[in-house]
Each structure stands twice: as C-alpha cells, then as structure tokens.
Chains A and B, each alone.
Chain A
C-alpha cells in the first residue's frame, strides 16, 4: 500500500521505534511457537501473531509510569511495556528466575516496576482491575492513565458493563483498548454477540470511542495518543476498537476447525510488513531494517537459550514454592 506523504502521520523516528517493537514481538512469538511445538515449554500459550501493531502502537503512546492490564494473550503487551525478555522467557520455562518466580507462566505475566498490572486468564477480569488502578491514580494524584487490553469476547460478559459504567460515572482515566480479532476462543463474534461494535457499547455509557485499523501501527499510535491525552487531561475514559486478526488459533495447538486457516484472507494483513514498507518508502534503508531484524533475532534466541539452560526449581515442599 502506497503511503501518501501528505498524510504521513507519525515522525519517522517514532515509526522506527514502533516497528522495532513489532519485530521484537513477532520474533518473540515465533520463537515461543517453535519451542512450544518442540515441547520445551509447559502448559498453554496464547500467541499474538498478527496483532503486533495493537501492542506496539497502543503502549507506544503511554508514559513509562502508566498502567497496562492485559489478557491471556499478553506477551506482546508485556514486551511493549518494557518487561525484560530474559525474565519473560525464564517465566515461560517455569524457572525461579522468571518474572513471577515460575508461579504464573504465560497467562499471568506481571511486572509492577514497568506498570504491568498483570495478564489475566479470566475473560474480562482485568477490566475492573484496570479501572481500580485509574481510580487510585486519581485518588493519589499520580497523573497516570490505565490502559486495558481486552478482546471482543469480553463483551459477552458482565464485567465490561460494570467497568465502563464505573469509569464513566466516576470520570476515570481509563483507556479501554479492544483488540477485535473476530474470534472469541472458537467462536466467531457475529455468532455469539448481539453487539455489532464495541464502540456502540461505549457510547451507551457516555464514553468517547473510535474504530481504528488495528493493522496500521501509525493509526493505532495516533488514535491512542489522542485518547491518552483525553484521559489524562480531562480525567475521563476513552474506548478504542482496533480491528485486527490473530494468525494462530486461540491457543497454540488449536486445530481451528472453526475457520479456514489456509485462506489467504487470514494472512492478507501483515502489520509488520506494512510498517516495513512505509519505512522504506520514507527513505529508511533496507539494510538497516535487515540489521535490526538480525539483532533482535539474536537477542530473542539468546533469551530463550539462556532460559532453557537455567536449572529447574527444586522446592523443598509447598511452603517453598
């Protein structure tokens, strides 16, 4: 897709930074996938391949002290928030050096030092928690905003209603970011929900909202920057509905009987390739982008190799876990 210079939205240096984060997420997730398939990683993993622009673009618009809450599909959000890759890899392997000491794994990644309040395995459960973080920020006059990622599947349940309601009546600085990838576990959104768009839902609660192309990292970054300013300056909530796709199944290993995984439509959008194209169009050299990718590949591989070779924990008993 040709980028019209007149509508070039984001500074080249910012776009480069967003692209770097997207590549980091892409490579990290591919590495998790590879090693999971080799049965090196225990439990389950829910990969965000295809959704990188949402994580990079949204978190990119935040300040380091702002809060992020995420879901079971949270590796990208954690990386974007600056969580240490070594610690994340070690956690996926269940080592004591993991950021959660091996207690939580993929679905519960949290890092208070980077404002990552936690990934949550219960659909929708992170929503009121994020509202609470916004509440405390306002109460303690910290000036932080609280960004909460959720999928459109969270609109099936009650927690989103309660959270939108409280954020609205109490005018809290919450940025509700919906990654609408069209599938809630094995179900297509249209089959399970009477809500056509999450933006509609926000308007019922008096909350400003926009749709955004979740595969266009510049559009995501721009929309979030605007929303973050609104949240912070006016102390009010905002909702963004980003349209994207997940390339993988609900979980790694999902046979995906519910959709045609060989269809070109699924892979039609590649947010990383899209951003790459825009950078080269703006004069960034292909060589520098290749170098970037190699550097990140080495870093990702090193993180996983290191984690793999850390010893398994040896607790004396349950009190030691």
Chain B
C-alpha cells in the first residue's frame, strides 16, 4: 500500500496534471487507506472526493483526460465496475480509436479485489477478464510492492487507458527490497522463481500461493518455476512459452473463476503456440463458478488454496 501511495504521490509531484477521483479518496484517505494524506498534500482539486456516481465520475475523468488532465480514477471494489462498465467499455476504451488516434485518454482506473474475508458475493469478485476482453484497455496486476509502484508509475505515464488492479490482501505486504523509483514496463512478466519441473503462470496474489506451494514441494525435490505475469494485457507470451519450453508442464493459477477466465486465454495460447513443448495437459486452477458465499467455511471451499495448488502440481509431476 505504501508503495502504491508513494508511486501516486511521486507522479503527482512530477506532473501537475495528474489528479485523483474516487469515493472517499480524499478526506477519508480511501476505503483501505491507500490515498491517505494525499489530499492534505495536493489539495481538494487534485484529490477529489466524488459522489457515489461511478458512471458520472468515470465519465467526468474521461472528459478531463481528453482535455489535458491525467486522472487516476478509483473504483472502490472491482465488483462495482458494473456501475460504470459502459463508460469503460464503450467510451474510455474506444475514444482514442474512434477519434482516429487524435484524442488520447491518459487515464488510470485503479481498483482492488481479494476474496477470502467473508465480504459476501457482491464484494468478492475478480473481474479482470471483463476489462481484458475489451480492445483498447491495458490491464496490470502487480504481485509485489516494487511492481505495484513501478507499474503504477508506468500506468500514469502511459497515454492510453490502463486498468490497475490491486489485491487487498497484499496491501499490508512489506517489501524486503528497497522500493525504488523505477518504472516497470507494462507487458513484461517477471520470473518469480526458477525451476525445471513444472511452470506455474500466475498473477497478483496467486503468485504467492504458487511460491508457497513451491517452497513445500522443494522439500520433496520438486522444483517449481513461477512466472508472475504482472500484465494481463498486453500479455508476455514470449516469457510464458519460454518457461513452458523449459518445463513442459504448466498450471495456470488465478483467484478469479476458472470458467471463461484469464487462465483460459493463457491456456489457449499455450495449446496453440506451445503445443510442441507440452508433456502434459495444461491445467487451470481458480475459484469455482459460484457467487462467493459469506460464511467462511462456505467461501474457503470455493477458492484456490495452497493445498489445491500442491495437489495439482504433484499430478503434473507424475503425469
């Protein structure tokens, strides 16, 4: 969280046209505290508390982006994206194209997700695939503090609209590495862990599930390679195929529902362009196709866990 805040603050310092819109982002510091202190520092006309009008303020931010500003718009929970999906899908994503590339939209849409805390069916969804499917939008989902800051900076500086998806379980994550002021390029994956036996392609919090599973399996002499996509769109296909070429076996892992998810796209690309490398079917793991229940005992059964990851990896190893 500090990394994200630092990234936003540095960009706002650097470029006076950068501004923030969202519900309770200013005086309240954000529902999770991500923007705390920014309104005091930059003032209420650069950190704007909006009414509860997602369509309205997303549209307003778009209009501002088209006329000289660089807005960072916050949608408090990714579940609320439905409230303004037309603005995102039909307007933000398409204005640069429809204008013949003459009007740019240097806008960042920040949002967050992260199931597993009994937030209930309308506050627990991972909906990145909806944005990923719309041509004209970039989608980034950092898993580490360094990448959160670096990708945020890249997103703000990008002249095209970028959807920046945070995971609330990672807000409290501290970084052992010094969080530098370095832009992380959008569209490049990061090798989180090198291994020869099986590849896990993951992003956001799922990267940590994969790393935890890898640590457990290491004791059994199994070496798991973990590739952190960092960007969903554009996707680093080259890195994915290089890893699959190395291990021949792959699990695609994300928190979102498996059916029709980002993992389906990754799996299809591997099957299409990495077929020769495969020694086993491409596996996917994610949430079950049900609205996520409130009760902890009910919710946990619907979500991926480190245990389920380990189980699938063992199956792949022995395939």
Contact = CB atoms under 8 A, between A and B. Distances in A.
Interface residues of B, number: 34
B79 to A, nearest CB: 18
Contact of A129 (B19, B60, B69): B60
B280 to A, nearest CB: 33
B98 A132 contact: no
B17 A118 contact: no
A56 to B, nearest CB: 24
A312 to B, nearest CB: 17
A292 to B, nearest CB: 32
Contacts of B90: 121-122, 125
Interface stretch (B48-56, B142-150, B169-177, B224-232): B48-56
Contacts of B167: none
A201 interface: no
Contacts of A146: 63
Nearest to B96: A103
Given A122-B90, A122-B91, A136-B69, A128 B64 contact: no
B64 A132 contact: yes
| Residue among A110, A120, A128, A134 facing the most chain B CB atoms (10 A cut-off) | A128
A165 B51 contact: yes
| Residue among B19, B59, B60 facing the most chain A CB atoms (10 A cut-off) | B60
Nearest to B45: A139
Contacts of B64: 132-133, 135-136, 139
A95 to B, nearest CB: 12
A103 B267 CA distance: 32
Contacts of A163: 56, 59-60
B98 A117 contact: no
A69 B100 CA distance: 17
A158 B59 CA distance: 12
| Residue among A67, A99, A118, A158 facing the most chain B CB atoms (10 A cut-off) | A118
Contacts of A112: 66, 99, 102-103
Contacts of A69: 63
A159 interface: yes
Contact of B99 (A110, A130, A131, A139): A110
A169 interface: yes
A137 interface: yes
A133 B67 contact: yes
Given A103-B100, A129-B63, A120 B91 contact: yes
Interface string A156-181: 00110011011001000000000000
A125 B84 CA distance: 11
A78 B183 CA distance: 40
Contacts of B19: 139
B276 interface: no
Nearest to B103: A112
Nearest to B86: A122
B87 interface: yes
Interface in B56-76: 56-69
Contact of B59 (A103, A125, A137, A139): A125
B59 A159 contact: yes
Interface class of chain B by DSSP:
helix
A98 B99 CA distance: 10
A182 interface: no
B68 A128 contact: no
B95 interface: yes
A69 B69 CA distance: 18
B97 interface: yes
A128 B87 CA distance: 10
A23 B66 CA distance: 31
Contacts of B103: 110, 112, 117-118
Contact of B63 (A100, A103, A110, A131): A131
Interface in A86-143: 98-101, 103-104, 108, 110-112, 117-118, 120-122, 125, 127-137, 139-140, 142
A166 B101 CA distance: 29
A118 B61 CA distance: 15
A162 B55 contact: yes
A128 B63 contact: yes
Contacts of A136: 63-64, 67-69
A130 B61 CA distance: 10
B68 A104 contact: no
A96 B93 CA distance: 21
Contacts of B101: 101
Nearest to A134: B63
A104 B67 contact: no
A104 B53 CA distance: 28
A122 B63 CA distance: 15
B100 A101 contact: yes
B146 to A, nearest CB: 32
A118 B95 contact: yes
| Residue among B45, B53, B64 facing the most chain A CB atoms (10 A cut-off) | B64
Nearest to B52: A162
Interface in B93-134: 95, 97-103
Interface string A58-92: 00000000010100000000000000000000000
10 contacts: A101-B100, A103-B98, A104-B98, A128-B55, A128-B57, A128-B62, A129-B59, A133-B67, A140-B69, A159-B56
9 smallest CB-CB distances across A and B, nearest first, come from A132-B63, A128-B59, A162-B56, A101-B100, A129-B63, A132-B60, A162-B53, A136-B64, A132-B64
Given A131-B59, A162-B59, 12 more contacts: A98-B100, A100-B98, A103-B97, A118-B95, A118-B98, A128-B58, A133-B64, A139-B19, A139-B45, A139-B69, A158-B55, A165-B51
